[in-house]
Amino acid sequence: MKPPFRIFYRSLIKPFYRENAGTFVFVFTMFFFIVGTVDGAGLFKYHYGLIRALLSINAFLAAVLLLWILYARKCAVFIARCLRQPPYQFMAIFRNLPRHQQYLLFFITDFVLLLPQIFYMLLVITEGFCLRLFPSTGIVLCALIIFCSLLPAWHVYALNHPERSTGRIRFFRMYRVSLYPQILIRAVLQTQKLVWLGIKLFTGTLLYFMAVNNRLTNDDIQLTFLLFSFGVLANGVFINRLRMFEEHYLSFYRGLPVSLANRFLQYALVSLFLVLPEAGLLCFLAPAHISAGNALAFGFYAFSTLLLLTAISFVKLTTLKHSIRILLLIFFTGYFLMMAAGVALISILYACGAIVLFRAAYYRCGTGIS
């Protein structure tokens, strides 16, 4: 089994982690090295409290399960899509293997792809047995077994029935339109819909529970902003990939007779769409759980941050791996400015910076990607 698995590793596992390396680095840096220590509790205590809340609050458990399902589906669709591509036609030779060997190969492959999720699920299961929270722990254990057993079975079916397995489920359908912002939005919904849903669910869950379970004093507002900022900056993944999509397929648009103000307004509409779920949740929470002023400041911060990320991408378009540094720099800058002057000032500075950078860099932006 060693030579076949080496082929699976180079053909499926390595491309998956290479494609999502930037996202993994960003999430693990924020989740384990920054967010976990912001309240002075330490990494272990933070995740202990998070796991205990996950097992004790049914709504939180349901939200996390949905995130795990979305990630498992992402892994499943990635492999199924690869098997249908012309460069992977050589994988048809594995149809000659017995079904149990095919299943074992895909089981190991899926296990490696799901490894970050499996690691955290095992922590949750272990802690659940220690806390004697058996119903919630049983749900997580069942989910783990389902992920590890069903994904290889689906991939065995996809390998042996390529004409029946599309590897794609349409969650959204949009009409073909010619308006430029809708073209970009359609690109997000068709290529990044699961990542978009996962980030929105993560950000919304954190914001909701922070606002509902706390009175949001000054210290609580700072912690809430930190977590909210993390979710907002995760949208930088979409900004980066949309810009690459533009450079590859829509570079002609820069030569069309459209004013610079209208172009900026178009990107502003795309940014507004990306933060629309957060804005709706803030409206729902205000003023009962969060003051109207803070809700408005948080919403404007999310919008202005995405505008700034868009403008920066026109200064120099980089790969997702290198853009993580920019996201971390903006994160720390925003946090220090919030500590010194408040969220409103950050939003104003980011919006002004976005306008200045966009005006200076739009027509000077090259097509090279570094």
The predicted structure's pLDDT at residue 216: 53
Q: How far apart are CA 40 and CA 221, in angstroms?
A: 16
For 105, list phi and psi in degrees, rounded to 5.
Answer: -60, -45
Q: How far apart are CA 318 and CA 359, in angstroms?
A: 19
State whether residue 315 is helix, strand or coil.
Answer: helix
Q: How far apart are CA 34 and CA 47, in angstroms?
A: 12
Asked whether residue 171 carries a pLDDT value surpassing 50, the answer given is no
Give 106-122 pLDDT, tens digit per residue.
Answer: 999 999 999 989 998 99
Of residues 157, 128, 158, 150, the one with CA closest to residue 140: 128
Q: How far apart are CA 84 and CA 165, in angstroms?
A: 8
Asked whether residue 178 carries a pLDDT value surpassing 50, the answer given is no
Q: What mean pLDDT comes out for the span 159-180? A: 55
Query: Residue 88 burial (CB < 10 Å; 0-12/13-18/19+)?
Result: middle
Q: What mean pLDDT comes out for the span 71-91? A: 88
Give 225-241 pLDDT, tens digit per residue.
Answer: 777 887 788 788 778 77
Asked whether residue 251 carries a pLDDT value surpassing 70, the answer given is yes
Asked whether residue 323 carries a pLDDT value surpassing 90, the answer given is no
The predicted structure's pLDDT at residue 292: 81
pTM comes to: 0.58
Residue 314: CA count within 13 A, CB half-sphere:
22
Going through the chain in order, the beta strands assigned E by DSSP cover none
Lookup result for tokens 């220590």: 37
The predicted structure's pLDDT at residue 172: 38
Of residues 237, 203, 206, 233, the one with CA closest to residue 329: 233
